[in-house]
Amino acid sequence: MDYDTITVSVDGAVGTLLLDKPAKLNPLSVACLQELADAARWFDRQEEVKAVIVRGNGRAFTAGADLAAFTGGGGPDRAGTDAGRVMAEAVTGMQAVTVAAIHGHCVGGGVVLAAACDLRVAAEEVRFVIPEVDLGIPLAWGGIPRLVREIGPAATRDLVLTCRPFGAAEAQALGFVNRVVPESELEGAAEELARLLASKSAYTLRATLMAADAAAEALVPTGGAWNDADSLAAARRDPESREAARRYLESLGR
């Protein structure tokens, strides 16, 4: 597969989906989101693949969405604004079991990407942050229902409204992360987990995923996430939200 922002590979029954713009900390641009969704569908056609590792190249899992694109007065069209939701649904619906291997920074939309995966392994030093409210935009892409499923409504309100950073230990205590390992062991731990999963019956893996996903959807539906793109567009038109975005970007030196 030939992509500009990601690299896809297969080794037997295990695939890898690598966010591959390390110089920019693997930003989730519209192009990257569209390629992630396409790669998820491509993996669904690879019947031999039972597990897929999702990870980032370089110093971070991902620095999140392209801030300028999603906070400016113009920004992408509705299809571009909706690309994150489409990506998250494509990753969630993958036939293979997905294992997120998270290191460095995992920011905003990167947390949604991780939440769309079935299992998550994090490096001890990882730093999570969901800065959207500080940016004057709502957390979109179906992020709110996915976080509520994983960590509950109270913790979701805390992390999304305060925008405070949190680490691997807290993420594991909240139930967001399944395993925490030293960063030097992260790649090996994710590979070991993926190989363990790939040793099992493909039918049984898929049946279990479908049952778990159906139960999660019944508890906290994500169907309303299609409207997230409109909420983002409305935030870009709101003067107070735009001023919040300006201050935040200024604080980052952008």
> What does the alpha-carbon distance between residue 161 and residue 143 come to, in Å, rounded to a whole number?
13
- Predicted pLDDT at 226: 85
Residues 218-250 have pLDDT tens digits of 999 998 888 988 898 888 889 998 898 888 888
Mean of pLDDT values over 2-10:
97
Alpha carbon distances (Å) from 28 to 31, 56, 67, 170, 210 = 8, 11, 9, 24, 27
Instruction: Provide the edge-to-edge strand list for the sheet that holds 6-11.
Output: 6-11, 14-19, 51-56, 97-102, 119-123, 179-181
Residue range 184-216, pLDDT digits in tens: 999 999 999 999 999 999 999 999 999 999 999
**Domain regions of the chain by residue span:** 6-186+193-198
The confidence band for 118, taking pLDDT boundaries of 50, 70 and 90, is very high
Does 185 participate in catalysis according to the annotation?
Answer: no
Q: How far apart are CA 9 and CA 53, in angstroms?
A: 10
Question: Distance between CA 120 and CA 101 in Å, rounded?
Answer: 6
pLDDT tens sequence across 129-180: 999 999 999 999 999 999 999 999 999 999 999 999 999 999 999 999 999 9
Superfamily in which the 6-186+193-198 domain is placed by CATH:
2-enoyl-CoA Hydratase; Chain A, domain 1 (3.90.226.10)
- Number of helical H runs and strand E runs in the chain: 12, 9
How far does the chain reach from its first CA to its final CA, in angstroms? 34
Comparison of pLDDT for 114 and 251, the residue scoring more = 114
Given a contact cutoff of 8 angstroms between Cβ atoms, the answer to whether 57 and 5 are in contact is no
* Ramachandran angles phi, psi of 123, nearest 5°: -75, 150
Q: What is the largest CA-CA distance in the chain?
A: 54
Catalytic residue among 35, 132, 150, 191: 132
Angle, helix 83-92 to helix 143-151, in steps of 10 degrees: 40
* Backbone CA torsion sign across 248, 141, 53, 117: positive
